[in-house]
Structure 1
């Protein structure tokens, strides 16, 4: 039985070159002196260009002479090559700036890895063109800076416009309210209705301007950090809503809440928006029951404000957090559609998120999460606060 004929060294080398040329990276086999002994087509195109063969110099200086990179980069790669060949490191990898084209700087990722010393004393060097990634990254960074500039200008515009609108609106509102006091009932019913529309319109516009100012301040300002007892914040919010709670006979239960490191004014605004909404959107056929509690799962602290109100269709769970969005704009309830947008911005400024779980007609549960690392302590039980009459 005859043995199969072994391929000749020339055939093996030709096969090896075909495989190397098929690679999308520039690849070279370097000897122990750092000189290229085998290269593929991409290496010739990207690294050495038209430099004559054989390549008798160490590859970093060779690439410098071919115009690929400058002396500083050559020295950086030379140091990495020396370390790899001497066994002081397992790999050298660096993203380097190379020759400039008509579009600007080009970039390559350079990798040098040792070859098994049992078979060959040397290393493999690879170059990968990453110019597009760098240019895309630079473009995205420039766009980000531009968007930040535009955002700051928009914030300033909203603040200035809202602030400057307040004074003329106060004047209009004062004169309309004066008309209502002096002439209501003394003119015909149509005039009384027109005056009522004007007074209510001025009030809504004033509330909208105040909310816009709050949002613009929230977007652009740095916040103060202190130890904030959430139980005390909730009680302060409920004292401010005492008249509304009493008029609606709402029953509010506050469970033990933690002390957190945060801005007390922001947290008060957040909780006031959620609690006042729970009262405002109560069900007409039942007394409002609102429960506030917290759960810490080790990673996130979740605060819940649950009610038994009119509920929200799941199709609108995300929509309620959009600016100026009111699901029931003509139901007679006061509001500007900015409150939940402000709440969302506050929560996200702490790295948390806010969401709602609800079905129409069966109440709503608003939850917001904060990093558990914000917890300073856990308060003693907060008293139940049924500001309305007992059931």
Structure 2
């Protein structure tokens, strides 16, 4: 109890007459004594000279003395020796301004047990006025456990990997850690007692008081400045972008706010670099799409000029020249036809990225009908069996959706088993805000190691002799689905058939479709 209750010489005769205490007699004294005795904290009452005139059972328990060892003795025996010399001054100060108040505001207080051990305390002082004079009643609370918890809290804050700053309601800084010193360039002694606005750029300070008051009115853990860019201000005047998490810290006396501050300079730099690279990639893709479109479009006419005469030459002079000539002409015609097919596919692929046709309500069933009509010859020749569920109506580009079904069904026809007819099933299942549409076949299947590769342009798993084609079909499917904000994937195993899945958004004109639309 540093700067405790007023004292007298510690050698005061223990047999001194305690007349003022004896004169607190009758009903009033008894009620007072019972209240003090029943108090949950240690209670010590002393006179102007610091003689102890009353203690309770909690005092005996807390200090290790019996009350007979305390009554009539100086309160100094409960005060660590290093604080005793200042007591007389504190005692006079209290008696010059008698009022209930906590003792030793701004100082750490300690008390001394009979066994010589010290412990931290909080003490409340209350004047008790009687006919015999004024006494001081001190309520003494052992705050050892609280100090232990506070110390653990400080250690946790100090060990935090981020800057940690704790402020009280008025915005004054009461606690910082080493990371704060490192991040802002201040020594902690320079921050204690300063307002948190010290760390806020000047252009934001005017509004900061309002944000702080709003947080204290709605105390809960949350991030600070949602939707705003936040900046910190270093001692050298430089600014840097930050993220801040706010957490209320409640004590028995008041509420504080602990702010965890993270420097996100590198993250911002990376985000800006990502945006820059994305924009460059978008420009590059546009250039490539433009080139592919122009090249494939402009190559069609000269290629037709080559392919047409070659085919006429083949028909007119077939068998009239020697076998080597027929072979050479056949190779030239085949190459010209394959090149024409490749250019057509490449043109279709580039058109998907360039298409500006408005999306509209599109019945997937009708898009599938158009695709099956385009494939009718191959379906009839192969004897393929098609089964289909009711397909939904979605917001889509009808031409692209038809092309998507045409490539997936055509893929199932191409990679069918030679010894049995193809069986192709088209289905649709609702999953949340998406439709998942599947095209399943009983064909030769795909090894899982090639699942990603098959969606790349010009990638083939078989020779052109086994399965003709340009290697653009599935890349075109992925591009179409991506243009519609969906995704496409495959499930398969060699010899066990293949199922392609793709998603389309179920929302139509801002409303989520409740069920699939039956085919007409």
Per the TM alignment, residue 108 of structure 1 is displaced from its structure 2 partner at its CA by 2.5
- Structure 2 residue 197 is matched with structure 1 residue 197: no
Map 1:159-308 → 2, pairs under 5 A: 159-297=293-431, 299-308=433-442
Residue in 2 that maps onto 1:79: 210
Does structure 2 retain, via aligned residues, the 8 Å contact 1:258–1:376? Answer: no
- Structure 2 residue 177 is matched with structure 1 residue 40: yes
> Residue 118 of structure 1 aligns to a residue in which SS?
coil
- Aligned partner of 2:160 among 1, 23, 32: 23
Per the TM alignment, residue 187 of structure 1 is displaced from its structure 2 partner at its CA by 1.0
CA deviation string 1:119-167 (max 9, x = no partner) = 2365444433222222222222222222222222222222222222222
- Aligned partner of 2:450 among 316, 320, 326: 316
Does structure 1 retain, via aligned residues, the 8 Å contact 2:184–2:234? Answer: no
Does structure 1 retain, via aligned residues, the 8 Å contact 2:185–2:235? Answer: no
CA deviation string 1:209-259 (max 9, x = no partner) = 111111112124345322222222222222222222233333333343333
Does structure 2 retain, via aligned residues, the 8 Å contact 1:211–1:338? Answer: yes
Residue in 1 that maps onto 2:117: 5
Does structure 2 retain, via aligned residues, the 8 Å contact 1:270–1:346? Answer: yes
- Aligned partner of 1:140 among 252, 274, 292: 274
Alpha carbons of structure 1 residues 165 and 178: separation in structure 2 relative to 1, 3 Å: same
CA distance in 1, matches of 2:498, 2:154: 69
- Structure 2 residue 287 is matched with structure 1 residue 150: no
Per the TM alignment, residue 112 of structure 1 is displaced from its structure 2 partner at its CA by 5.2
Does structure 2 retain, via aligned residues, the 8 Å contact 1:34–1:122? Answer: no
Per the TM alignment, residue 97 of structure 1 is displaced from its structure 2 partner at its CA by 2.5
Per the TM alignment, residue 116 of structure 1 is displaced from its structure 2 partner at its CA by 2.6
CA distance in 1, matches of 2:182, 2:445: 67
Higher mean Cα deviation, 180-189 or 15-24? 15-24
Alpha carbons of structure 1 residues 218 and 33: separation in structure 2 relative to 1, 3 Å: same
Higher relative contact order, chain-length normalized (CA < 8 Å, sep 6+): 1
> Residue 143 of structure 1 aligns to a residue in which SS?
helix
Per the TM alignment, residue 379 of structure 1 is displaced from its structure 2 partner at its CA by 4.4
Does structure 2 retain, via aligned residues, the 8 Å contact 1:324–1:337? Answer: yes
Alpha carbons of structure 1 residues 39 and 75: separation in structure 2 relative to 1, 3 Å: same
CA distance in 2, matches of 1:253, 1:51: 75
CA deviation string 1:334-372 (max 9, x = no partner) = 311111111122223333333333333343333333334
Does structure 2 retain, via aligned residues, the 8 Å contact 1:260–1:376? Answer: no
Map 1:361-372 → 2, pairs under 5 A: 361-372=495-506
> Residue 79 of structure 1 aligns to a residue in which SS?
helix
Aligned length in residues:
374
Q: TM-score, normalised by structure 2?
A: 0.62
Per the TM alignment, residue 196 of structure 1 is displaced from its structure 2 partner at its CA by 1.0
CA distance in 1, matches of 2:152, 2:362: 72
> Residue 209 of structure 2 aligns to a residue in which SS?
helix
Residue ranges of structure 2 left out of the alignment (5+ in a row): 1-63, 65-113, 122-146
Per the TM alignment, residue 202 of structure 1 is displaced from its structure 2 partner at its CA by 0.9
Q: TM-score, normalised by structure 1?
A: 0.81
Alpha carbons of structure 1 residues 93 and 246: separation in structure 2 relative to 1, 3 Å: closer
Residue ranges of structure 1 left out of the alignment (5+ in a row): 64-68, 383-391
Does structure 1 retain, via aligned residues, the 8 Å contact 2:162–2:179? Answer: yes
Structure showing greater radius of gyration is 2
